[in-house]
Amino acid sequence: MLTYFDAIVLGIVEGLTEFLPVSSTGHLTIAEKMLGLRVDDKAVTAYTVIIQFGAIVATFLFFAKKIARLFMAWVRGLTNVQARGHDYTLAWAVIVGSLPVGVVGFLGKDLIAGGLRSLWVVAAALVLWSGVMVWAEKQHDRSAADGVQRGEGQVTLRDGLIIGLVQCFSLIPGVSRSGATISAGLLRGIDRVTATELSFFMAIPALTAGGVFQAIEERHGLAELGAGPMLVGIVVAFVVAYASIAWLLKFVANNSLMAFVNYRVVVGLALAAALGMGWIAAT
Q: What is the mean pLDDT of each run of 10 residues along the chain (283 residues)?
A: 87 91 86 82 77 89 93 93 91 92 81 76 93 94 86 92 93 90 94 91 81 69 74 94 93 90 95 90 76
pTM above 0.95, yes or no: no
Query: What is the per-residue pLDDT across 18-64, written as a single tens digit (0 to 9) for each?
Result: 889 998 888 888 888 888 887 777 777 778 878 888 988 999 999 99
Domain residue extents for the chain: 4-276
What is the torsion angle, in degrees rounded to the nearest 10, for the CA atoms of residue 74, residue 75, residue 81 and residue 84? Answer: -20
Distance CA 77, CA 201 (A): 19
Residue 232 and residue 4 in contact, taking contact as beta carbons nearer than 8 Å: yes
